[in-house]
Structure 1
Amino acid sequence: MAPRSQRRSGSTRTQSRNRRGSRARDQEGIIPQLARAAREVEHAVQRGTMTRQSHVRFQVVALLVREERARVKADESSSESYRSEQLQRLDGIAIILAKTATREPSLFELLGEDAVVSDAAKAMRLEMLEAAGIEVPAEEESDEPETAPVAEQRRVVPRSVISRQLANPFLPQDFTAAERQAALQSTPRRLATWELIGPLLTSFERAAGGAVASMALPDPGSLRAPADLQLMRHQAEVVAAAAAGHRTFLLADEPGLGKTAQALLAAQAADAYPLLAVVPNVVKANWAHEAELWTPQRAATVVHGDGETIDGFADIMIVNYDILDRHVGWLGDLGFRSMVIDEAHFIKNKSSQRSRNVLALSERIRARIARPLLMALTGTPLINDIEDFRAIWEFLGWIKPNSPGAELMHKLEENGLTPADPGFYPSARAAVIDMGIVRRRKVDVAADIPARRIADLPVELDGALGRSIRDAERELSRRLVSRYDSALAARTSGVTVEGIDHELVRRVAGWERDDTASTDENVFAMMRRIGQAKAGLAADYAAQLARSVGKVVFFARHVDVMDIAEATFAERGIGYASIRGDQTPKARQKNIESFLEDPDTSIVVCSLLAAGVGLNLQVASNVVLAELSWTDAEQTQAIDRVHRIGQDEPVTAWRIIASQTIDTKIAELIDSKAGLAARALDGSDEEVSSSADLQLEALVALLTDALSERYPDPAA
C-alpha cells in the first residue's frame, strides 16, 4: 500500500485534472457564447456605444437563454447536479441581461416572449447555434418568408361592393407600370451581388450626423384649403409635393401636425381615387370626420364588421387593421389608385397577419398602377429602431424582402459607391430620404400652429356597452317626447305654436332634470357610462401618443375610468403615475416627481377634479381628455397644467368624443358656453352657465332633435 502522503498527492492531481476538465467543458456549448455576447452588450451600454447590432445581439441572447433553459430542464439523460449547475449559469446570464436593460430601458421590450424577432436576429441566432456545434433543423435554415394564407372562411364581399364590381367589371390595366419597372431595371447592376438591406438600415444609425430625416419639399405657393379651414404651411408642402408628382411618403410628423388632412389632400392633389385608408380602430371615426371636412366632394365610407353598411361606390374606403383579413380579397380587386396606412408601425412585425395583408394589398396596387400614391403615417421617430421600418419601406415599394426596389436601386447605382466605401452610408441614407421620408416636430413648425389647441377625436362605441348606451339615449328621447306630447294635450290656454314650441321644450327638459336628479337615469349618469365605454379607446390613444412623443397627461373625471386606463397602460408595459383625490400629500408629490423626472414614467393619469388646478406638468405637450368636463373653465384648467409659462412647445389637447351619442352634443354645448364665457369676461351681460345648466341644455338638445323628425325645417 502506498504511503498516505502519496495517496493524498495522487488524489490532489486527480481533483486538479477534474477541475481542468470541468473548466474545459464549461467553455463548450452555447452557454459560453451567450455569456460573452451578454457582456459585449453590457459593455456597449456602459460605454454609450449601443448600435442596432447590439440590440439584435441582446435579443438573440435572451431568446437562446430561454431555449437553453427549457432544453436543460427537459434533459433527463443528465444528472440532477449537472442540470442545476447549467441552470445557475443561465441565471447568471439572465441577471446580466436584466441589469443591462435597467441601464438601457429600450432593451426591456426585447425581453418579452411576444417581442418581434427581426430577420437579422434570426440569422444571428442560427450563427450562434452553429458555432456552438448545435445542429439546426433544416426548416429553420430556410430564408423563405412566411406565406400562410389568410383564412378563406373569414373573407366576405359586401353587397354594395358586388354592385360596384358589376357596374364596372373591367378595370383598365396600366401597362406603364411594367414599362417603368423595365426602364429602371435596365440600369447596369454594379451592386447586384451586394447585400444592401442591412447597409441601408445601418446608414440611419451611422450616417445621421444629427441631421433631420426629411426630404426637400416644394414651396406650396397658392394652395388653398376648403372653405372655413386653414391649411398650414407644413401641410401644404406635402400636398404640393403630391401635386408635383411625388407618389410615396413616409410621413412621420409628430402627433398634432395634421397628418390625416395631409394624406387626404395629397390624394385629392394627385387625383388618386379610389383611396384605401387602413387605420387603427380608435381613429376610424376620426378619419371619416376629417374626410368630410377636407374633401367634402368625395364620399367616404367606413367598413364595420362584415361591411354590410358600406357604400361600395365611395371614393374613400376606411377600414381598421383588426378586420382587414375579412376584406382583403375584394379590397385587392377594387382598383384603388392610392393607399394610406395610419400608425404604420402597426405592421412592423412582418410575420403578423395584419402586416401580410397590408403588404399584399400594396403589391396588388403597385402591380396594376404605374405610380400609385402610397403613404405611411406614423408619429414614431425614425431613430427608435430603424429595423421597425423595414415592412413600411416594403409597403411603399422602396425595397423588396431581400433587396432594394427598382427605383431605390437606380439611385444607389447612380451614386457610384458600394458598402465597402465609407461614403456609401450618408449617400444611401440621403437616397432613402429622397424616396419620401418627411419628419417635422411641433417645435419645427411652431409658427404654423396655435400655442394651444383642442383636437376632437371621435371614437365609436362598439359592443354590448355601446349598444346599451344608445338604447338608453333612445329611451330618454322617447320619454322626453312623451312628456312634451302630454303637456301639449293638457294645455288649456288655447295658444298654438307652429312647429316646435321651444319654450315648452325647455320646461319639459327642466321637469326631466328635476325628476331624475336623484336617480341613475339622468344625464350625469349617462355621461359616466359613456366615459367607461370609451376609457379603453382613450387609453389606447394615449399609449400610442406616449410611444410617439414621450410624456402624456391623461385626464378623467371618474375613478373607474382612471382604473381602466391604468390597467391598459400596465398591460402595454407603459410606465405611469397617478394623481387622485384620495392620495396623501406625500404620495401625490411622489407621483408628480415620478412623471416629471423619471424617463420611464410616460403617462400621468389625473383626476379632473383633483389635478385640474395647482399642478405644473409642462414636461409634456400632449393632453388626453378621456371624459368631457361640464364647463369650459374646468377643461381649460386641465389643459393649463401643461400650457404654462415656460412651455416651449405648442400644446395639443386630444378630446375623446363618443360619436353618435350625447357626448357630441355636450362637446358642442361646452364650446358654445366657452364663447359666452369669453364675452362675459369682455364686459358682456351674458351669464356663464353652470354644470346644472349644461345638463338642462343637453336635455333640450335631445328633445329638439327628436321633435325635428316630426317638424322638419322648411328651409332645410
Structure 2
Amino acid sequence: MSVLARSVREVEAALRRGRVSPTTRTKFQAVALLLREERARVRAEQGTSERHRAEQLKRVDGIAKALAMSAVREPTLLALLDDDAVVSDEARSLSREVLRTAGVETGPEPGPEQADDAAEVPAAPARPRVVPQAVVSRQLANPFLAPDFSAPRPSARRPTPLAGWELLGPLLRSFERAGGGAAACMSLPDPSPRRAPGGQQLMPHQAGLVAAVEAGHRTFLLADEPGLGKTAQSLLAAQAADAYPLLVVVPNVVKTNWVREAERWTPRHPATLIQGNGDSLDGFADIVVVNYEVLDRHMGWLGDFGFRGMVVDEAHFIKNKTAQRSRHVLQLADRIRSRTPRPLLMALTGTPLINDIEDFLAIWQFLGWIDDTAPRAELMNALTATGLTPADPGFYPAARRAVVDLGIVRRRKVDVAADIPARRIADLPVELDGQAGRSIRAAERDLARRLVARYSDALTTRRAGAVVEGVDHDLVRQVARWELKDATSSSAGDNVFGMMRRIGRAKAALAADYAAQLARSAGKVVFFAKHVDVMDAAEETFARQGVRFSSIRGDQTPAARQREIDAFTGDPDVAVAVCSLTAAGVGLNLQVASNIVLAELSWTAAEQTQAIDRSHRIGQTEPVTAWRIIAAQTVDARIAELIDSKAGLAAQALDGSDDEVGSSADVQLEALVTLLTDALSDASPSQEASDGHRRAG
C-alpha cells in the first residue's frame, strides 16, 4: 500500500510540473493496473475478517481516488483508466518493478523465445480470464442456483446409408441451385392472437415463431429482414422455452438496445450487460448480454454458468470459423449443448441465404445441425428419410427442404406488410464509451452546474416575499430562456447546441457501423446527419469497411448533386446515401431504400418526418423503418422524448401527419428545463438547506 501511495504521489508531482511525458503516462497506467489487481486480491482474500477487508479496500479506494483526481487535470490520461485500454509492455514491466520494490515475488518476464514456443503449441481450452464478483456472489448465495451438468452427452453417430457420402458440399449446392419458388422458411404453426406485457400486441409473423417454440422447436436461423422484430421474437421465444439463464452475444452498437428490449418484452426476467471486466454485472439476472469484443476475457465463467439458451445477433459475424470470436461462440454453444437437454439456440441475421452461402456453415454448426465435417444426427436422419443420395437428381431440393425445416425462418417486409406500419421510427440506444463519452458526460454536468448557479443567483436577487417551497418551476423556465438566448447568440461550444454537435460526432462511427450492417443485410440505406463533420466521420467509416456510398450535401452544384443521387438510385453497388438533414431533407426521391438511419436528432418532428419521406413516397413498395440512433444517458435521450411528446408519436409509430406541434425553440427550451429540473431534484437535502441558509443570510 505504501509503495502504491508513493507511486501516486510521484505521478501527481509530475503532472504539477507541466506537460505529460511518456514516462509519466507509463507510470500512471502501471499504478492503475496494480490498484485494480490489488483491489481484486483484497476482495477475494480468504481467512481475513470483514472488518480488516473493509479497511484494506478503503485504503485502496483512497489511493485510487487520488490517482483519478490527478487524471482530471490531463484528459488524455482518462483513456488509460478504461477497462478496454491496451496495457503497454512498458507499463507491465514497470508494474512488475513496483511489485518487486514492495517485496512481492514475481515470475520471470516472458521473453521472445517463450512467445515463439507458445505459438507452436496447440491452443489450450478456454480458461477464465476474469470472473466478475457478481458471479462469485451468485455461486455463494444459494447452492440451488448452481447449474446441474448431469445431462447425458449425445450418443455417437450411428451408421446410415449416407455415411460414406461427403454431404456438406451438396447441402450448400442445394441452396445455390434453388429456384425462385423454393421455400425459405420452415412451416410455422398458425398463430393465435396474443399480447405481450404492457398490452403490446404481437404481430402475426412474430407470434408464429413463438408458437413454434411452444410446440417444442428449439433451433432457429432467424433471417427476417431488419425491422421485423427479431429481438422481440428471440426474447419471447426464450420465455416460451424457459431457456434461462439466457446468453445473448451481440455487436457493440446494439448491446444497450437488447437490455432495453428485454425490459420491454420480458420484464419479469431481468437482463444484465457485461461491460469491460463485468464489474457492473448482475449475477442473478436471467438474461446476460455480452458484445463480441469482450467475449474472450469472460469465456471461463460463461462456460460454467449453466446457460439453457443462447442467442447470437448479427450471426454473420461468426462466418469465419478461424476468427477468435467465431471459435468462442462455437465453444460456448458446444458447452451448452453438452450440458443442457435440447437448449434454445437462435442465430439472428438479416443477410439473405442465397448470398455467400458458405458463410452459413459456421451458423449451422452453432445451431448443432452440422459439425466440422458432416451433418449431426438430426439433420442426417432427415436426409436419410428422403431415401436419396447426392447422385439422385431429386436430392438437392429434398436436402434444402430438410435444412429449412430444422429451423430457418425468413420473412421479408413486403411479405408481412399488412402486419407492420407503413412507416415507423425505431430507437436504437447506444452507449458512448471511452474518452469521448466521458468528456460529453462531463460537459453535460458542467452545463447543468451552470444552470443551477444561474438559478441560485436568481433566487438571491428576486424580491422579498416571493417564497416557493421546493423547486420554483417558473424560475426554472425563465433561467432556461436566458440560457437559450445566450446559446443562440454565441458560437461557444459549451451550450446545448455545442453539446448536441459533440454527441453527434461521438455517435457518428456507431451510426455508420449500424448503417453498414443494414446495407449488407437489407439493401440500400439512407443515412442522415445534421453536421458536416458527422457526415465526414460516417463516410470515413464506410470507406474503411469497403461500403460504397453517395454524398448529398448543401454545398454541391445541382449537377454534382444529381450525379450522387443517380449513383445511389441506379448503381446496385452504391449501398448508402449520406445525406445532410437540412439540405437533403426535402426534394429528393430515394424510394430504392426502405431503411433510414438518423444519426443526429433534429429539433422538430416535422424535420424528422421530411427526412423519412425521402423514402416513404409514391413508388415505395415496402414499409419504411427509420432507425434513430440515441446516445443513452445523455441529453440526447431527453430530446428524443421531447420531440416525440411534441408530435404525439404514440408507440414510436408515425401516423402519417405532417402537422407541426410546437417549434424547434420549444424543444430546445424544454430540454434545458428538464436538465435544470433534474439537477435541482438530484441535489442533496443538506445542500438545499445550505443554499436556503445562504439566501436567508
Q: One fold, TM greater than 0.5? A: yes
Instruction: Provide the rounded CA distance (Å) in 1 between the counterparts of 2:515 and 2:292.
Output: 18
Hey, what does 1:633 align to over in structure 2?
606
1:50-449 to structure 2, matched below 5 A, reads 148-149=123-124, 155-168=129-142, 171-173=146-148, 175=150, 177-178=152-153, 181-182=154-155, 185=157, 188-449=159-420
- 1:223–1:240 Cα contact (<8 Å) kept: no
1:402-438 deviations in Å (ceiling 9; x for gaps): 0111111111122222111111111111111111000
Q: Counterpart of 1:166 in structure 2: which amino acid?
A: L
Moved more, 430-439 or 495-504: 495-504
Hey, what does 1:493 align to over in structure 2?
464
Q: How far apart are residue 176 of structure 1 and its match?
A: 5.1
Matched residues, percent identical? Answer: 72
Q: How far apart are residue 489 of structure 1 and its match?
A: 3.0
**Greater Cα radius of gyration, structure 1 or 2:** 1
Q: Select 1:667's aligned residue among 619, 627, 640.
A: 640
Hey, what does 2:568 align to over in structure 1?
595
Query: Structure 2 unaligned runs (5+)?
Result: 1-120, 686-697
- 1:666–1:698 Cα contact (<8 Å) kept: yes
1:624-654 deviations in Å (ceiling 9; x for gaps): 0000001111101000000001211000000
Hey, what does 1:657 align to over in structure 2?
630
Q: Counterpart of 1:592 in structure 2: which amino acid?
A: I
**Any idea what SS the aligned residue of 1:605 has?**
strand
RMSD: 2.1
Instruction: Provide the rounded CA distance (Å) in 2 between the counterparts of 1:500 and 1:219.
Output: 55
Q: Select 1:703's aligned residue among 651, 676, 687.
A: 676
Instruction: Provide the rounded CA distance (Å) in 2 between the counterparts of 1:367 and 1:533.
Output: 42
Q: Select 1:530's aligned residue among 485, 503, 509.
A: 503
Instruction: Provide the rounded CA distance (Å) in 1 between the counterparts of 2:576 and 2:632.
Output: 25
- 1:276–1:318 Cα contact (<8 Å) kept: yes
Instruction: Provide the rounded CA distance (Å) in 2 between the counterparts of 1:148 and 1:574.
Output: 34
Instruction: Provide the rounded CA distance (Å) in 1 between the counterparts of 2:412 and 2:122.
Output: 37
1:417-469 deviations in Å (ceiling 9; x for gaps): 21111111111111111110000000000000000000001011111111100
Instruction: Provide the rounded CA distance (Å) in 2 between the counterparts of 1:630 and 1:516.
Output: 15
Instruction: Provide the rounded CA distance (Å) in 1 between the counterparts of 2:408 and 2:274.
Output: 29
Q: How far apart are residue 676 of structure 1 and its match?
A: 9.7
Q: How far apart are residue 583 of structure 1 and its match?
A: 0.5
Q: Select 1:559's aligned residue among 532, 535, 556.
A: 532
- 1:459–1:657 Cα contact (<8 Å) kept: yes
Q: How far apart are residue 499 of structure 1 and its match?
A: 2.6
Q: How far apart are residue 169 of structure 1 and its match?
A: 5.2
1:514-529 to structure 2, matched below 5 A, reads 514-517=485-488, 518=490, 519-529=492-502
**Any idea what SS the aligned residue of 2:295 has?**
helix
Q: Counterpart of 2:289 in structure 1: which amino acid?
A: I
Over 3 Å counting, the alpha-carbon distance change for 1:449 and 1:177 in structure 2 is farther
Q: Select 1:510's aligned residue among 466, 469, 481.
A: 481
Q: How far apart are residue 552 of structure 1 and its match?
A: 0.6
Q: How far apart are residue 173 of structure 1 and its match?
A: 3.6
Over 3 Å counting, the alpha-carbon distance change for 1:177 and 1:249 in structure 2 is farther
Q: Counterpart of 2:346 in structure 1: which amino acid?
A: M
Instruction: Provide the rounded CA distance (Å) in 2 between the counterparts of 1:147 and 1:216.
Output: 43
1:480 aligns with 2:455: no
- 1:150–1:353 Cα contact (<8 Å) kept: no
Over 3 Å counting, the alpha-carbon distance change for 1:465 and 1:151 in structure 2 is farther
Hey, what does 1:134 align to over in structure 2?
none
Give TM-score scaled by structure 2 length: 0.77
**Any idea what SS the aligned residue of 2:625 has?**
strand
Q: Counterpart of 1:569 in structure 2: which amino acid?
A: F
**Any idea what SS the aligned residue of 2:190 has?**
coil
**Any idea what SS the aligned residue of 1:611 has?**
coil
Instruction: Provide the rounded CA distance (Å) in 2 between the counterparts of 1:647 and 1:509.
Output: 43
Instruction: Provide the rounded CA distance (Å) in 1 between the counterparts of 2:419 and 2:574.
Output: 30
- 1:185–1:410 Cα contact (<8 Å) kept: no
Q: Select 2:436's aligned residue among 465, 472, 476.
A: 465
**Any idea what SS the aligned residue of 2:575 has?**
strand
1:197-235 deviations in Å (ceiling 9; x for gaps): 111111111244532311000112143211142211111
Moved more, 226-235 or 656-665: 226-235
Instruction: Provide the rounded CA distance (Å) in 2 between the counterparts of 1:228 and 1:540.
Output: 33
Q: How far apart are residue 688 of structure 1 and its match?
A: 3.8
Q: Counterpart of 1:543 in structure 2: which amino acid?
A: A
Q: Counterpart of 1:636 in structure 2: which amino acid?
A: T
Q: Counterpart of 2:446 in structure 1: which amino acid?
A: E
Q: How far apart are residue 501 of structure 1 and its match?
A: 1.6
Q: How far apart are residue 711 of structure 1 and its match?
A: 8.5
- 1:499–1:711 Cα contact (<8 Å) kept: no
Q: Select 1:577's aligned residue among 542, 546, 550.
A: 550
Q: Counterpart of 1:612 in structure 2: which amino acid?
A: G
- 1:251–1:259 Cα contact (<8 Å) kept: yes
Q: How many residues align?
A: 556
Q: How far apart are residue 366 of structure 1 and its match?
A: 0.2
- 2:175–2:400 Cα contact (<8 Å) kept: yes
Instruction: Provide the rounded CA distance (Å) in 2 between the counterparts of 1:693 and 1:209.
Output: 53
1:642 aligns with 2:615: yes
Over 3 Å counting, the alpha-carbon distance change for 1:608 and 1:150 in structure 2 is farther
Instruction: Provide the rounded CA distance (Å) in 2 between the counterparts of 1:253 and 1:507.
Output: 50
Q: How far apart are residue 545 of structure 1 and its match?
A: 0.5
- 2:552–2:561 Cα contact (<8 Å) kept: yes
**Any idea what SS the aligned residue of 1:582 has?**
coil
Q: Counterpart of 1:699 in structure 2: which amino acid?
A: L
**Any idea what SS the aligned residue of 1:240 has?**
helix
Q: Counterpart of 2:624 in structure 1: which amino acid?
A: V
Instruction: Provide the rounded CA distance (Å) in 1 between the counterparts of 2:486 and 2:385.
Output: 78
Q: Counterpart of 1:522 in structure 2: which amino acid?
A: N
**Any idea what SS the aligned residue of 1:578 has?**
strand
Q: Counterpart of 2:388 in structure 1: which amino acid?
A: L
Q: Counterpart of 1:455 in structure 2: which amino acid?
A: A
- 1:348–1:391 Cα contact (<8 Å) kept: yes
Instruction: Provide the rounded CA distance (Å) in 1 between the counterparts of 2:467 and 2:270.
Output: 42
**Any idea what SS the aligned residue of 1:376 has?**
strand
- 1:412–1:431 Cα contact (<8 Å) kept: yes
Instruction: Provide the rounded CA distance (Å) in 2 between the counterparts of 1:264 and 1:541.
Output: 21
Over 3 Å counting, the alpha-carbon distance change for 1:594 and 1:236 in structure 2 is same
Moved more, 535-544 or 515-524: 515-524
Over 3 Å counting, the alpha-carbon distance change for 1:296 and 1:480 in structure 2 is same
Over 3 Å counting, the alpha-carbon distance change for 1:536 and 1:707 in structure 2 is same
Instruction: Provide the rounded CA distance (Å) in 1 between the counterparts of 2:649 and 2:670.
Output: 14
Instruction: Provide the rounded CA distance (Å) in 1 between the counterparts of 2:395 and 2:123.
Output: 37
